[in-house]
Amino acid sequence: GAGVSQSPSNKVTEKGKDVELRCDPISGHTALYWYRQSLGQGLEFLIYFQGNSAPDKSGLPSDRFSAERTGGSVSTLTIQRTQQEDSAVYLCASSPPGLQGRQYFGPGTRLTVL
């Protein structure tokens, strides 16, 4: 079946602009996660959704970052007033119902802030 998809695959933006990154999880997966992978920091957790609610937002680095999930499916990560340090690969993962589900990752969105 179809895996986790993310769009766009690449995004180049100018400093100060807002960007939206999209994640389509695997159908039926109730949990959705956003991570960020950058050269200096490795892979870091950003936010976790269970259904449409986000019980863990502890990884969002600043109030410029926000995310929402609608219909228990698609999620959008929004970065306002982008900065050069936001440049990274943003990865989305989903997992099926049940606490033991492994996480399935999408291919990521590479964000470059000029």
Partner 1 sequence: KQEVTQIPAALSVPEGENLVLNCSFTDSAIYNLQWFRQDPGKGLTSLLLIQSSQREQTSGRLNASLDKSSGRSTLYIAASQPGDSATYLCAVRLSNAGGTSYGKLTFGQGTILTVHP
Q: Under the rule (CB under 8 A), what is the footprint of partner 1?
A: 4, 31, 33, 35, 42-45, 48, 55-56, 58-59, 91, 93, 95, 99-108
Dihedral over Cα of 33, 42, 37, 87: its sign: positive
Contact 84, 77 (CB under 8 A): no
How does strand 42-50 pair with strand 31-38? antiparallel
Residue 101 beta carbon to partner 1: minimum distance, rounded to whole angstroms:
8
Residue 91 beta carbon to partner 1: minimum distance, rounded to whole angstroms:
6
Which residues, 6 or more positions from 28, have their beta carbon under 8 angstroms from its beta carbon?
96, 97
How far is Cα 113 from Cα 21, in angstroms, rounded to an integer?
A: 14
When the beta carbons of 75 and 95 are compared against partner 1, the nearer one is: 95
Residue 97 beta carbon to partner 1: minimum distance, rounded to whole angstroms:
12
When the beta carbons of 16 and 97 are compared against partner 1, the nearer one is: 97
When the beta carbons of 38 and 80 are compared against partner 1, the nearer one is: 38
